Amino acid sequence: MQDAHDHITFDLFFDEAAPLSPCTTKLGRPTKPDALSDAERARRYRACKKARLADLRDEMVPVSSTVIDLSALAPWKRK
């Protein structure tokens, strides 16, 4: 129990009826109603990455580069 005249020491046992301090309220931007969870965002990222890598591995699309010389590749693989 805290002394009524002691304003420095905090009470470790909070009463249920005691109001919470304003620092316990959530601060920041409110969440959107259609916001994705972390798992949904990760699932969407992995699906996009899998599709992008599948496009890069496609044998029907010729390989092209503006950075390196692809003359060592077979002519049917180059653009």
Task: Decide if 78 is inside a domain.
Answer: yes
Task: Decide if 51 is inside a domain.
Answer: yes
Confidence of residue 20 (pLDDT cuts 50, 70, 90): low
Task: Decide if 56 is inside a domain.
Answer: yes
* Helical (H) or strand (E) element with 39: helix 38-56
Q: Which pair of structure tokens corresponds to residue 67?
A: 């950075």
Range of the domain at 70: 35-79
Over residues 9-30, mean pLDDT? 66
pLDDT for the residue 18: 55
Task: Decide if 23 is inside a domain.
Answer: no
- Report how many domains make up the chain: 1
Task: Decide if 54 is inside a domain.
Answer: yes
Task: Decide if 22 is inside a domain.
Answer: no
- The DSSP letter of residue 24 is G
Instruction: Say if residues 70 and 54 touch (Cβ distance below 8 Å).
Output: no
Task: Decide if 55 is inside a domain.
Answer: yes
Task: Decide if 71 is inside a domain.
Answer: yes
Highest average pLDDT, of 5-9, 33-37, 55-59, comes from: 33-37
For residues 1 and 53, which has the higher predicted lDDT (pLDDT)? 53
Highest average pLDDT, of 35-44, 51-60, 64-73, comes from: 35-44
Instruction: Say if residues 34 and 27 touch (Cβ distance below 8 Å).
Output: no
Q: Which of 62, 65, 66 is nearest to 75 (CA)?
A: 62
Q: Which pair of structure tokens corresponds to residue 64?
A: 């092209």
Q: Which of 46, 47, 44 is nearest to 36 (CA)?
A: 44
